[in-house]
Amino acid sequence: MGRSKSDQFYHKIASYTFGHRVTLHDFNRIGEVLVSICRREAELDETPEHVFKTLNARSDASCDITAEKEQNFKADNVPGRLEMQCDLCKKAKPPDEFPLDTVSESCEHYPGVCFRCVVDYVHKNKTCPQPNCQVEVDQSSERVKYCHAALARMFIDYSVVYEENRRKMVSAVGNKITVFSISGDTAWIDYTPELTVPELMKEVEEQTKIKTSNQKIMYNDQRLRPYKTPTKPYLLSDYGIKQHESLTLIVPLFCIPEDLDCVVFDLSWEFPKKNPDFLDASCLAFENRDFLQVIDWNHPENDFYLKGAIKHTHEITYGGQEGHQTINVSLKALPTYVSGLYFVLSSWKSPNLSAFSNPSLKFYPESQPENNLCKTTFTHALNSQAVIMCSVVRQNERWLIFDSDEDCCVNGNSKMYNPIRKQIEKLIAKDE
């Protein structure tokens, strides 16, 4: 490829990275600034000349880009957005997720491997990650540190940052623990090892106005139970909880009134713009950890285990852009041994849910479809093949609806339920 197309290629990268047109004579300065920032984050000295070879200084052989590489730089279906395909993981990524130079000075190929693949591959193999290049790479080299720094700056783990800041805040006010919910409600509790779980739940109720009967407090993926025996409560020390710790408060999405019987779970989605496919709505019934039966398109009802109390509608709407499948449940007709219902959306053919927009669930009385009692959507499960949209759990003769979280993302679909069943069993075990 001639120099003009090579320059045009790098010009596109810079234009996308900086958000505006960048003239060619600015490339040297751009490169120096980017490398300077990454080296500063890695706490390295000033950049030696050999670390960053300016584009103009490269020979035609070292910077030559084949037609195949040019095709890797492409626009996706978002107007104005450009992406490059990593030569190693084959994933399309923004240009700023690729290094400007090779991982070793001895390499003479185009730098076509993304930062993440460079870091992971060099750590495991100690050689250049570019296919067909076997140049040995020192993990402590300045170029590898540059890639580490760029990756860390690009993908900040905000959960770590949050936890560090939270601990600083809690330690500043003395011996406290925090109990927070996904909605943002937070309770600050005075900590003593002898504090009982019922006392903790009562204090949470006073601060957040959430009744103790609707509280599910988790620590290290384990639910805090109030009592060991009917007269002996659990202490915080029994669960290994120490000062400045953070506990998670899970609150039901909806508490179904006792007089409500026939209800509808309406699961919907928007169809993909390309490669037509649809989602399957399923309901998996459990007796504690034991799987009982699935209700879905192929198994619309069950008279033996579920007494016909759950029915799939056999209906899917193809008109327009939105699809629906509904599942009707008669709560009072359910056998008493049924302890939980888990509603799942899964793709039929697609490897994940990313092609489907706005998957959601609505819940309403069968006789009043316009009376939407609760609704939930999700965006965190787009890279999984299925998501457990919600769980309906029997608790002291009441039915409670709980929203999904990150643990509800799972592979599997209506052709292969085993992964979904195993994940539900794990979720049930956390609650025991």
| pLDDT class of 21 with cuts at 50, 70, 90 | very low
CATH topology of domain 159-250: Ubiquitin-like (UB roll) (3.10.20)
**Where does 172-278 show beta strands of DSSP type E?**
176-181, 186-190, 216-219, 222-223, 227-229, 232-233, 246-250, 254-256, 262-270
322 has pLDDT over 60: yes
Contact by Cβ (8 Å): 384, 410: yes
Cβ 337 vs Cβ 305: under 8 Å: no
CA atoms within 13 A on the CB side of 350: 23
Of the ranges 29-38, 162-171, 244-253, which is most confident?
Answer: 244-253
- Reduce the DSSP state of residue 70 to 3 states and report it: helix
Residue that has been written with the tokens 């399309």 in this structure: 92
* Range with the poorest average pLDDT among 41-50, 113-122, 131-140, 145-154: 41-50
For residue 295, pLDDT over 90 is answered with yes
**Assigned token pair, 40:** 């500063």
- Rg of the chain over CA atoms, in angstroms? 28
Q: How many helices (H) and strands (E) does the chain have?
A: 9, 22
Which of 52-56, 91-95, 341-345 holds the top average pLDDT? Answer: 341-345
Q: What is the mean pLDDT of the segment spanning 90-109?
A: 88
Among 429, 295, 283, CA closest to 342: 283
| pLDDT at residue 25, as a whole number | 55
The CB-side HSE value for 334 (13 A sphere, CA atoms) comes to: 27
**Tokens 């140049």 appear where?**
135
Confidence of residue 22 (pLDDT cuts 50, 70, 90): very low
The rounded distance, in Å, linking the Cα atoms of 344 and 388 is 4
Q: How does residue 37 score in pLDDT terms, banded at 50, 70 and 90?
A: low
Extended strands (E) in 89-166: 92-93
pLDDT of residue 81 exceeding 80, the answer is: no
Q: Report the C-alpha gap between 229 and 238 in whole angstroms.
A: 14
pLDDT digits (tens, 9 = 90+) for 391-404: 999 988 889 998 87
Q: Which residue has the tokens 């016909």?
A: 308
Q: What average pLDDT does range 24-43 have in this prediction?
A: 58
d(CA 353, CA 359): 9
Nearest to 30 by CA among 14, 46, 41: 14
**What does the alpha-carbon distance between residue 384 and residue 151 come to, in Å, rounded to a whole number?**
24
Please state, in angstroms and rounded to a whole number, the distance separating the CA atoms of residues 221 and 263: 31
Domains 159-250 and 254-431 share a fold: no
158 vs 347, more confident: 347
Q: Which of 198-202, 237-241, 266-270, 291-295 is predicted least confidently?
A: 266-270
pLDDT of residue 319: 56
Long-range contacts of 44-52 (CB under 8 A, 24+ apart): 44/142, 44/145, 44/146, 44/149, 48/142, 50/105, 51/101, 51/142, 51/143, 51/146, 52/100, 52/101
User: Could you tell me the fold of the domain covering 254-431?
Assistant: Lipoxygenase-1 (2.60.60)
More confident: 333 or 57: 333
Burial of 423 (0-12, 13-18, 19+ CB in 10 A): buried
- In the chain, where are the structural domains located? 3-154, 159-250, 254-431
158: pLDDT strictly greater than 70:
no
DSSP element (H, E) containing 357 = strand 357-365
- E strands present in 10-49: none
Longest dimension (CA), the chain: 83
